[in-house]
Structure 1
């Protein structure tokens, strides 16, 4: 018999996690599945709940946003289990990248009929990250987003970077990718696995969840006044053509800075630089549609 343990973040999406999960759970129970619900109290609690459920053979369902998915993935990877996602947060960028449907009926059908597939994850300072790790002006914007939950998500994700610009000055980063070291003055560094963040921005368009590589995007010391046009281009993925933007791939990156800089992972600050980010290939089993075939080169 299919067995599911739903982790609900009470504050995800303004408190809509329970409402998002109820119709999915009803359909699963109607199909004869065993369904349990656990409400998370903290990041550590979510990791513990996910690890325990996965160790018992239950499919862990993260009902929330990217932060809860990250925390659930930490526990699931440690226990060697399987993860499913019901998008109920503000950004839901990983769910969008995975092609997870919003419709409850389609979600239940996906959970009941689709075998897990393996995706890569990032590991930074002991934290498992399915999406992206980033440091710089976008990390400052993340702090603003998390302190302004009363503003509607789509608007907030566009306003926060502009507000962050007002207090920001460029950083001198030291970046080592697979043993190659360089120093540069810049605005932000993104280590991408999914490549998507900020409520739909394809910040690292070449990134793929299952290609065995991490993608490093560096935004150099360009004019901050152009942040609005940068974000517009990021929605279409054309920002890689900008002269201040660089991109490379690797499997391990060490990043430091000449002053304290916040380090974020999938929507939350997890520390400050320096940090080492490693790729763990095919480390997470997730219930999601198969990705579309990539064009041959």
Structure 2
């Protein structure tokens, strides 16, 4: 029987992260599994807790949103520790990419009976990040600005915070001149954003990279080029289905190492957390994390 340590972000999903664990914890314990619960003070503290539990041979569960999943899963990348996700945030996009059940009973079955699956992770290098590893995507442009607004919202939650943040970001946006280097080949583009995606989903269920696979050893690079803002809003509406990839302003490249530069100090985000600016280099780490899914 597996032994779990749940690393909880108490503030996830509007202070409901710990509460979201309770029904799952009951099911795991009723099945005979041991579950220890620890609470993080920050993402860095969550990484320390995860590494300590992993070193003791525990399956480590990240309880929270994409930021928590990305940092905990990233810290465990390459360690051989088995990782599990308990989605309790606003976006939960990596859990969505893995097809995890949203109900406690279904998730308990995955955690108790599932076979660990090797998935890729992303290594991030910039002036403030040295070897940070995340799971889903790194994005530089209007979406990073929008996510910053959403994270700062004290009134709106869930999808509403992302829509409001996106509207505010786009209305104040002017096209950026990007230099995107994919496996040594440079591309000069002007537009709204560049996304290096391991997972297809970001920003509360938006399917930014429909062809992305978490276990193919590649990153999908989605470039949303310059267009009138009315067309950009139409493109954003198509992100739910992935139909945006048919627009001429959208370009998709694939590679193992991507460097994103711009003509101004643009913010970039990594799994929902925005705390740095381009230039940034990202690399795929194939099969680096064993996850229950």
- The TM-score with structure 2 as length reference comes to 0.95
**What is the alpha-carbon distance in structure 1 between the residues aligned to residue 193 and residue 233 of structure 2?**
15
**Residue number in structure 1 paired with 2:221:** 216
Alignment of 1:111-190 (within 5 A): 111-125=111-125, 126-190=131-195
Paired residue for 2:234, among 216, 229, 233? 229
Q: CA deviation at 1:155?
A: 1.6
Distance 1:173 1:228 in 2: 21
Partner of 1:271: 276
Contact 1:253 1:278 in 2 (8 A): yes
**What is the distance in 1 between the residues matched to 2:74 and 2:212?**
21
- The answer on 1:62 being equivalent to 2:67 is no
Unmatched tracts of structure 2, length 5 or more: 126-130
The one of 199, 206, 217 aligned to 1:201: 206
The worse-fitting range, judged by mean Cα deviation, of 147-156 and 191-200 is 147-156
Match of residue 3 from structure 2? 3
Query: Whole-Å Cα distance in 1 between the matches of residues 260 and 205 of structure 2?
Result: 25
Q: CA deviation at 1:234?
A: 1.2
Q: Distance in 2 between matches of 1:128 and 1:80?
A: 15
| 1:79 CA drift (Å) | 2.8
Distance 1:170 1:259, change over 3 A: same
Tell me if 1:48 matches 2:48: yes
Q: CA deviation at 1:152?
A: 2.6
Structure 2 counterpart SS, 1:80: coil
Q: What RMSD in Å do the two structures reach over aligned CA positions? A: 1.1
Runs of 4+ in 1 over 3 A off after TM superposition: none
Shift of 1:227: 2.8
1:186-210 per-position Cα deviation (integer Å, ceiling 9, x unaligned): 2100001102011111011111111
The residue correspondences of 1:23-34 to structure 2 (distance < 5 A) are 23-34=23-34
User: Comparing 177-186 with 276-285, which one deviates more in the overlay?
Assistant: 177-186
Contact 1:14–1:149 (CA<8 Å) still a contact in 2?
A: no
In structure 2, how many angstroms separate the alpha carbons of the residues matched to 1:150 and 1:100?
A: 29
1:76 alignment counterpart: 76
> Hey, what's the Cα distance between the residues in 2 that align with 1:223 and 1:243?
13
Residue matched to 2:128: none
CA distance in 2, matches of 1:207, 1:184: 21
Match of 1:242 among 240, 247, 258: 247
| CA shift digits 1:194-229 (9 cap, x unpaired) | 020111110111111111110001011111232321
Question: Match of 1:79, SS?
Answer: coil
Alpha-carbon distance in 2 for matches of 1:155, 1:43: 24
Shift, 1:78, TM fit: 4.7
Q: TM-score, normalised by structure 1?
A: 0.94
Paired residue for 1:253, among 240, 252, 258?
258
SS at match of 2:41: coil
Equivalent of residue 191 in structure 1, options 193, 196, 203: 196
What is aligned with 2:93?
Answer: 93
Distance 1:65 1:129 in 2: 13
Q: State how far apart, in whole Å, the 2-side matches of 1:40 and 1:97 are.
A: 25
CA distance in 2 between counterparts of 1:192 and 1:86 reads: 21
